[in-house]
Chains A and B, each alone.
Chain A
Amino acid sequence: MRISVSRVWRNRHVNYRMRAATCKSCGSITFPYQPVCSRCRGRNVEPVDLRGTGRIVSYTVNYQYREGFDRQAPQIVALVELDDGPKVLGVLTDVEPEEVYEGQRVSAVLRRVSADSYHGIIYYALKFRPVRDGS
C-alpha cells in the first residue's frame, strides 16, 4: 500500500482547506499549519483556513517528475504569494507552460494528485489554477 488512509485523514485540513497557523503575537501566517509561529517562534497561534488566492512570483517547468506523477509531466511549479501573506510553493493545473507568467493571479483548487491503484485509495490535495475572466 503506497498511501496511508490515516495519513490522508490526518492531513486533511492542510490539503483540503489550506490550513495555516496565524500568530496572535506578531501576525505572521505559517503554512502548512504548525503549533509554533515560523517568524517569532511563539506558541500563541490559531488555525486559520487560507483563501488560497494569490499571484505567481516565480515558476519553473519541471521535466524530472517523480514516480507516480508521470501523467502530470511536465509539471509547472510556482512560488505563489498568497493574498493572506505567506509564500507557498504549489503545482499549477489547467494551464499550459506557455500560458504562465509572473504576476498571474491564481486560486487553489482541490485535485486528484496520486492514487493507490491496488487498494483504490485516491490522494487529493491542493493545486493552483490561473484565475481567468469569468472564472
Chain B
Amino acid sequence: MVKVFLTAASTFKVGRHYNMGFGDLAAEVISSLESSVRSSQIDAVVVASAYPEKTGDQVMLASKVVTQMGLGDRVMGLRTEQGDASGLVALAVGYSLVRAGLANNVLLLGMEKQSEFPSRRLNDIVAQNLDEVYAHGVGLTNHAVAAILMREHMKRYGHDYEYYASWPITMHENGKQNPHAYLDFKVNLETVKSAQVVSEPLRLFDLAPRADGAAAVLLSSDEFAPKVSDSRVEVGPVCSSTIRVDYEPRLLSAANSMRYALDAVGLSMSDVDLFEVHDSYSVMASMILEETGLTPPGRGLELLQHIPINLGGGLKARGYPGGATGIYQLAEMYGHLTGTFQGRKVENVEVGLVQGMSDLGETSLATVLRVM
C-alpha cells in the first residue's frame, strides 16, 4: 500500500492583508514552494476555504489557482468546505488520492479572507456554521454559543475566570517567537482579565482572532517523496468524528477523532511529543486537552505545564485563518518534525498529533505526523 509523506510546507503571516486577494495569497505561498512544486509535478490541488462566496464573491477557487499559477491543464482542482475544519478535510482528500495511487503529489492550499468587512458582517458570515433552520435565523452568534459553553464548563468544574487566562498568556508567549503570527506580543493576566467583554464571560483574549491567511503543504507518495525532500514525515490516516453540539462542556468529537487517529497508527496519547489543537476559544482548548485523558476532568489547561502544545501560538496568537487553519497546523507541525520551524522549538519531536475542527467542535479531525 502506498504511504503518504509531507514533503514541503509554506505559511504566510496571518493578518489584515487588504492589498491581497485570493490570487495574491495563493501566489505568495506557492511561490515559496516553487522548486518543490516544479520538481514534483503535482497531480491535484485541494483548496481549503470556508467563506470565499461571502467574503470574495468567488467560487471555483481551485480552478482559479490552477490557471493563475500556471500549474498545467492536467492538474485537478478541488475545494473542501466544512467551516473551519476545511483544512484537515483537504488533508483527508489529498491523503486519499495519494494512498489510493490516484495521485503522486497533491498540493493542499488553505486560503481565507476575513478582514474584508467589519466584525458585525464577519459575525454574520461565520454564523453560517450554525443550523440555518433555527439558530442562524434567530440571530445567534458563534461567540454567544461559546460563551454558554464556557459558563457551563465553569459551573461544572468550579473554575473562576483566571483558570482560562493561562491559555492566551501561553499562546501569546509562543506567538511572539513565531514570525508568521498575527498577534506577536505578550500579554499578562491583568490585560487578559480587564479586556473587553465580548459575550459574558467571554472576553477578547478568550477567542481566536479571525484574519486573512494562506498556507500550503505538499503530499507525496513514498515513491516520489525522496525526489522532493530529504525529510521523512509520514502522514497517518485522517480520522474524523461529527457530533451534534449539545451544550455539554465536553468535546466528544475531538476525543473520538484523536483516539481514532492514534489507534490507526498503533500509538497512544502518551506517545505524543507535541500537540497542535484547534483553540478557537480558550474553553475549547481546555475541553480538547481534557479529552486526551492526560489531565483530570475539567483541568485541560494544566497540560500546558507538562507537554508542548501549539508552539506557534495556536489560533489565539498565530491567528485564526478560518478554513485555512488546518493547513497552518500541518505546516507548523512539519516544521517541528524537520527542525525547520521558525519560532519556539522543542528537542526530539518525533510524533505530532494535529487536531482541527469547526469553530464550535461539531466536527473534528485528527492525524498523526511521524518522523520515519
A interface majority secondary structure: strand
With contact pairs A32-B133, A77-B140 given, residues A67 and B121 touching in the complex (Cβ less than 8 Å): yes
Nearest Cβ distance between residue A72 and chain B, in whole angstroms?
7
Interface band, chain B: 20 to 34
Q: Which residues of B contact A44 (CB under 8 A)?
A: none
Nearest Cβ distance between residue A49 and chain B, in whole angstroms?
14
B134:A31 contact, CB within 8 angstroms = yes
Tell me if B191 counts as interface (CB < 8 A to partner A): no
A66:B124 contact, CB within 8 angstroms = yes
A72 to B139, CA, bound (A): 10
B199 CB contact (under 8 Å) in A15, A62, A89: A62
B133:A62 contact, CB within 8 angstroms = no
Nearest Cβ distance between residue B210 and chain A, in whole angstroms?
12
With contact pairs A62-B198, A67-B121 given, residues A126 and B138 touching in the complex (Cβ less than 8 Å): yes
B138 CB contact (under 8 Å) in A38, A60, A113: A113
A2 to B307, CA, bound (A): 48
Nearest Cβ distance between residue B204 and chain A, in whole angstroms?
10
Tell me if B155 counts as interface (CB < 8 A to partner A): yes
B148:A77 contact, CB within 8 angstroms = yes
A46 to B137, CA, bound (A): 23
Q: Which residues of A contact B120 (CB under 8 A)?
A: 64-67, 70
145-203 of chain B: CB within 8 A of chain A = 145, 147-148, 151-152, 155, 196-202
Q: Which residues of A contact B346 (CB under 8 A)?
A: none
Q: Which residues of B contact A123 (CB under 8 A)?
A: 137
Tell me if B127 counts as interface (CB < 8 A to partner A): yes
Most chain B C-beta atoms within 10 Å of own C-beta, residue among A58, A62, A68: A62
Q: Which residues of A contact B196 (CB under 8 A)?
A: 63
A79 to B135, CA, bound (A): 12
Q: Which residues of A contact B131 (CB under 8 A)?
A: 32
Nearest Cβ distance between residue B208 and chain A, in whole angstroms?
14
Smallest CB-CB A-B distances: 4 pairs: A62-B199, A60-B147, A77-B144, A66-B124
29 A-B pairs in the complex with CB atoms less than 8 angstroms apart: A11-B134, A14-B134, A15-B134, A31-B134, A32-B131, A32-B133, A32-B134, A59-B148, A60-B144, A60-B200, A62-B144, A62-B199, A62-B200, A63-B198, A65-B123, A66-B123, A66-B127, A67-B118, A67-B123, A67-B124, A70-B120, A75-B139, A77-B147, A79-B148, A79-B152, A89-B145, A89-B247, A113-B138, A125-B137
Using a CB–CB cutoff of 8 Å, the interface residues on chain B facing chain A are 118-121, 123-124, 127, 131, 133-135, 137-141, 143-145, 147-148, 151-152, 155, 196-202, 244, 246-247
